[in-house]
Amino acid sequence: MNRTLLAIISGIILALAWPTYGFPLLLFAAFVPLLLAEQQLRLCDVKRKGLKIFGLSYLTFVIWNLTTTSWLRFADIFGASFAVFVNSALMALLFLIYHKYAKRQSQNRALLFLVVLWISFEKLHLGWEFSWPWLNLGNAFSEYITWIQWYEYTGTFGGTLWIWILNALVFKSVLSYQKEPSQSVIKSTLLKCAILIGFPIAISLVIYNTYSHDGDPVDVIALQPNIDPYSEKYNMTNIKFTELLVELSNTKITDSTDFIIAPETFLAESTRLPQFKNSLLKNRLDRYVSQHPNVNLLTGISFIDVFKDKSKIKKETNQSKHNPGIYYDDYNSAILINASGSVQQYNKSKLVVGIENFPYQDILKPIIGDAMIDLGGTVAMKTTQENRGVFTSSNLKFKAAPIICYESVYGEFVAGYVRNEANFLAIITNDAWWNETQGHKQHLSYARLRAIETRRDIARSANTGISAIINAKGEITKQLAYGEKGALSGQLTTNDKITFYVMAGDYIARISLFVLLFLFLIGFFRRPRH
């Protein structure tokens, strides 16, 4: 078959398998056409094989990236282009490295190298400053939670490994059939695939149908203000938003309400951090909480801390353009206010590249200036914090993880809140930037993975998006539709038990990195195979 067509087929299959519209069973053979195209090129006598491999792979991954994440263009065309075309290039580079390795090694060793290389790449995407793990393969099962209840042991890397094991098996079977066409090869392959797909699903179904946990009930209200961030959100005062908070909360509040949860940057007007405790805004929030002494109010807020003391400068600290002697930290924060009178604060620490974070600033800023920040529509780098903060209720029974927006895509990161004793998860987000697209749907869907990995119930408050109640099995039990203004009430159950994944983190990725290094040393520093 034509190699370009094979590359296109792989891209289409990957796109058709992705949530929230796709069928992930397709992923178990999605890379096979591209692997066949690479093998054909490797064995034929043509010039510039490496360039051709990169081009074919790039075609596959552009189709996949463009189809599944082009909704980013509604927030920022520069960011969308960067995410699609650079991420596709990085994925294509993996296949080029595999091609170079496969020329020197046996097919089995080369496939093992590709599997651990891909997993290591996904781990890189979780940690470096150009982080974009949206298309990590294990995310693909987020709408099929009955298949992946074992994520509480493996995290999403278990799903990535599962997909690659099946692709390697199918690819080798196709090669065997090409050498010696027979029904026995087909039957053997189908049997192995049935076992390797069916057995994990069977285990998952058993867990799904038997899982339960004991804990205290938490009555929550998740607010969905449905404020347009392009025309309204940043043109209203925090006092006006406080009035809206009271209005929406009063539609659902009862004497048993434990938490009111408002979305990311709900209080969007930048508030001077040192003055907040004595501000009119704080007074209004305290007044409402005092009327409902059992309530814990968790909301997103924008803080700014302006100073001259150079010893306070952090990595993300900004310098005033008009007064070089003035510095400021810009925070996308969550706060908790209750009857105790104290304010608990957490600062968002997984930032959106180019929008909230200027990656590798020391290197790139001298070259491109503030282009990334300007194009992203913000004026400053956000300041983060090292540890995952957990909010404790006034009665000390409830410990909420204040997960802000993009942070909910990171499994091990969210596990950090649970290791810090969070017994339920509160996701606050603003998904209105992407309009009525797959963006906000995928973001909600990925939250279900965090519920399974940590076995924590979730209350999700979206400014515009989909607010939801999600149980520890990843089931969405209640939700507000996109574009609907309102408040969602529901009951969560706390959980103090720690899953194996929370305890061990991304151990599959760490093992893969070790195996990759070992195979790399063997593959590129030993005599080539003849």
Task: Give the up-direction half-sphere exposure of residue 38: CA atoms within 13 A in the CB hemisphere.
Answer: 31
Average pLDDT value for the chain = 92
Tens digits of residue pLDDT in 97-156: 999 999 989 999 999 999 999 999 999 999 998 999 999 999 999 999 999 999 999 999
Q: Which residues pair with 222 in a beta bridge?
A: 261, 488
The radius of gyration of the chain from alpha carbons, rounded to an integer in Å, stands at 25
Q: Name the band, by pLDDT with cuts 50, 70 and 90, for residue 378.
A: very low
Tens digits of residue pLDDT in 171-189: 999 999 999 899 999 999 9
Residue scoring higher pLDDT (322 or 151): 151
Q: Is the pLDDT of residue 377 over 80?
A: no
Q: Is the pLDDT of residue 341 over 90?
A: no
- The per-residue pLDDT for 383 is 93
Residue scoring higher pLDDT (73 or 397): 397
Q: Name the band, by pLDDT with cuts 50, 70 and 90, for residue 399.
A: very high
CB 317 within 8 A of CB 383: yes
Q: Is the pLDDT of residue 374 over 70?
A: no
Q: Report, as an integer, the average pLDDT of 467-485.
A: 97
Q: Report, as an integer, the average pLDDT of 192-201.
A: 98
Q: Is the pLDDT of residue 370 over 60?
A: no
Task: State the Cα–Cα distance between residues 84 and 511, nearest whole angstrom.
Answer: 28
For the entire predicted model, the pTM comes to 0.94
Q: Report, as an integer, the average pLDDT of 201-225.
A: 97
Q: Report, as an integer, the average pLDDT of 201-223.
A: 97
Q: Name the band, by pLDDT with cuts 50, 70 and 90, for residue 315.
A: confident
- The per-residue pLDDT for 473 is 98
Q: Is the pLDDT of residue 380 over 90?
A: no
Residue type at 317 in one-letter notation: T
Taking CA atoms, 367 is separated from 261, 360, 363, 370, 375, in Å, by 42, 11, 7, 9, 15
318 SS3 class: strand
- Comparing CA positions, the residue from 154, 148, 143 lying closest to residue 445 is 143
Task: State the Cα–Cα distance between residues 117 and 275, nearest whole angstrom.
Answer: 50
Q: Name the band, by pLDDT with cuts 50, 70 and 90, for residue 527.
A: low
- The per-residue pLDDT for 361 is 67
Cis upstream peptide for 67 (omega within 30°): no
DSSP string of 92-157, one letter each residue: HHHHHHHHHHHTTS-HHHHHHHHHHHHHHHHHHHHHSTT--GGG-GGGGGTT-GGG-TTHHHH-HH
> Which H or E run includes 477?
strand 476-479
